[in-house]
């Protein structure tokens, strides 16, 4: 059975004061043994301090991005080893905001995935189509392209610990989530695509849904058979909302 994951992507939000308040609230109300793995992904500069606050708790730490290269003259970049060094277990790669605003190619994202995997981080690979792609019936084509580059470069074995997040771009931060059926269709497609290379790994890969997940819609999205939790943006900044989403990801 796949253990669900709920990961909060704080994006470029927060401050030391706001983060401390959020983490305090999360730790105060999070069950001692949540039914799903819970991850928070603050901005780089807050990772170490957030990690200190999380130490000994059931919450895990993740980065929002990682450099594809191991070390060297890459001004402004943060390596996988550095993320590990400050206590990260997870890292998001290929978020649509990175792909679209910073022109990250499928190839670069795949290299980032490989770099994270090589250092023992669990990469959370984001894939997903834009609205024009969906309207043109190209959802599977786009997702297959994004996924195949990673499978080619890193091999299906790299997904043994890895996580895929299906995030339709038109649903991110828009308040318009995919329907459970739309999410299930894409997740089933992703699992089959991995399964064409390795059925065992496909069955074990956690596939998260991301895109306007809220306390009010998480239960129906997470009830779909191939949805193994969520990658949460806006709602991860509110402790009560995020914890309700976490509870919705539990078994049953
Ligand atoms: C995200 O940024 O990955 C995301 C899913 O954002 P939101 O939940 O705000 O749509």
Calculate how far, in angstroms, residue 171's C-alpha sits from the geometric centre of ligand 1.
8
Atom 3, ligand 1: residue with shortest CA distance: 233
* Structural domains of the chain sorted by starting position, each given as residue range(s) with its CATH number in brackets: 5-248 (3.20.20.70)
Q: How far apart are CA 178 and CA 155, in angstroms?
A: 29
Atom 8, ligand 1: residue with shortest CA distance: 233
pLDDT band at 251 (very low <50, low <70, confident <90, very high): low
**67-79 pLDDT per residue, tens:** 999 999 999 999 9
User: Which residue's entry shows tokens 């399964």?
Assistant: 195
Told to judge if 167 belongs to the known catalytic residues of this protein, a careful annotator would answer yes
**171-182 pLDDT per residue, tens:** 999 999 899 999
Cβ atoms of 144 and 73 within 8 Å: the answer is: no
For residue 12, pLDDT beyond 90: yes
Please state the atom number of ligand 1 nearest to the C-alpha of residue 167.
Answer: 5
For residue 43, pLDDT beyond 80: yes
Q: How far apart are CA 92 and CA 9, in angstroms?
A: 8
Calculate how far, in angstroms, residue 77's C-alpha sits from the geometric centre of ligand 1.
23
**128-168 pLDDT per residue, tens:** 999 999 999 999 999 999 999 999 999 999 998 889 999 99
Which of the residues 95, 97, 187, 241 is marked catalytic? 95
| Average pLDDT for 89-117 | 98
Higher pLDDT: 250 or 106? It is: 106
Told to judge if 77 belongs to the known catalytic residues of this protein, a careful annotator would answer no
Percentage, residues of the chain above pLDDT 70? 99
Q: How far apart are CA 125 and CA 148, in angstroms?
A: 12
Q: Which residues line ligand 1 (CB under 6 A)?
A: 9, 167, 172-173, 210-213, 231-235
Which of the residues 97, 104, 129, 167 is marked catalytic? 167
Cβ atoms of 35 and 250 within 8 Å: the answer is: yes
Residue 31 structure tokens: 């069950």
């Amino acid at each position: 059975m796949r253990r669900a994951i709920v990961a909060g992507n704080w994006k470029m939000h927060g401050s030391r004061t706001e983060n401390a308040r959020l983490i305090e609230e999360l730790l105060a109300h999070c069950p001692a043994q949540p039914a799903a793995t819970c991850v928070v992904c603050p901005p780089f500069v807050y990772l170490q301090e957030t990690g200190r606050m999380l130490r000994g708790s059931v919450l895990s730490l993740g980065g929002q991005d990682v450099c594809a290269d191991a070390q060297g003259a890459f001004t402004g970049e943060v390596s996988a080893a550095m993320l590990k060094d400050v206590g990260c277990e997870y890292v998001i790669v290929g978020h649509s905001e990175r792909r679209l605003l910073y022109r990250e190619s499928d190839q670069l994202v795949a290299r980032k995935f490989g770099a994270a995997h090589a250092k023992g981080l669990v990469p959370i690979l984001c894939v997903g189509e834009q609205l024009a792609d969906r309207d043109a019936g190209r959802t599977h084509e786009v997702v297959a392209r994004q996924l195949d580059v990673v499978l080619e470069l890193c091999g299906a074995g790299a997904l043994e610990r890895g996580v895929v997040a299906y995030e339709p771009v038109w649903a991110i931060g828009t308040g318009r989530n995919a329907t459970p059926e739309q999410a299930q269709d894409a997740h089933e497609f992703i699992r089959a695509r991995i399964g064409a290379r390795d059925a065992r790994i496909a069955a074990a890969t956690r596939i998260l849904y991301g895109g306007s997940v809220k306390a009010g819609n998480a239960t129906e999205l997470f009830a779909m058979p191939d949805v193994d939790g969520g990658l949460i943006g806006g709602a991860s900044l509110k402790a009560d909302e995020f914890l309700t989403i976490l509870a919705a990801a539990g078994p049953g």
